[in-house]
Amino acid sequence: MNVYSASNLSAVNKPQSLRVTHADQTPQDTVNKSVSDSVSISEQAHKMNENWQTIASQYDLHSIYGDEIRSLSKELFEGGFIGRGEMMAIGAPSSMNELPNQKHDLLNDMKHTYKLSTSFGGQNSGSNEVYLNAIDVLTRLEQTRNQ
């Protein structure tokens, strides 16, 4: 699991309110002594969030050319959003005869391929996890694009 995943980045952006309580406090004391604290996002996390947003806006996962798929997987990897295994799963050619001018529905194709592969027992636990992580990242990327 990638520590810098998009779901982690979105949670960091929201200020948090904390309530400090002690065992000897009454409920009224707790209400009167509530403490507000802001969470700061680091410059690196801010840049990662911007990079995630940029990647999401550039790629339509339901209508994407093969060379764009490989660029997407490379950008996600270089941005620290996926590991090498996920990069290879996402960026793999759709077939031996992939046409350069043919668009793909990357996300749905990956989901369909995963279902077929698991129904035939074609995934070991390691490749299963990598493929599911890749699908999860692409799903979150699509959700970011649609916001």
**Model confidence pLDDT, tens digit, residues 47-89:** 999 999 999 999 999 999 999 999 999 999 999 999 999 999 9
pLDDT tens-digit map of 21-37: 445 555 555 555 555 56
Q: What is the pLDDT of residue 70?
A: 95
What sections of 3-146 are H helices per DSSP?
A: 6-12, 27-32, 43-58, 66-78, 84-91, 106-119, 125-145
Q: In whole angstroms, give the CA distance from residue 129 to residue 8.
A: 19
What whole-number percentage of the chain has pLDDT above 90? Answer: 51
Instruction: Provide the pLDDT confidence category of residue 94 given band limits of 50, 70 and 90.
Output: confident
Residue 11 CA to its chain's centroid (Å)? 13
Whole-angstrom CA distances from 29 to 18, 20, 25, 37, 116 are: 15, 10, 6, 18, 59
| The overall pTM is greater than 0.85 | no
Q: In whole angstroms, give the CA distance from residue 66 to residue 146.
A: 22
Backbone φ and ψ of 142, nearest 5°: -65, -40
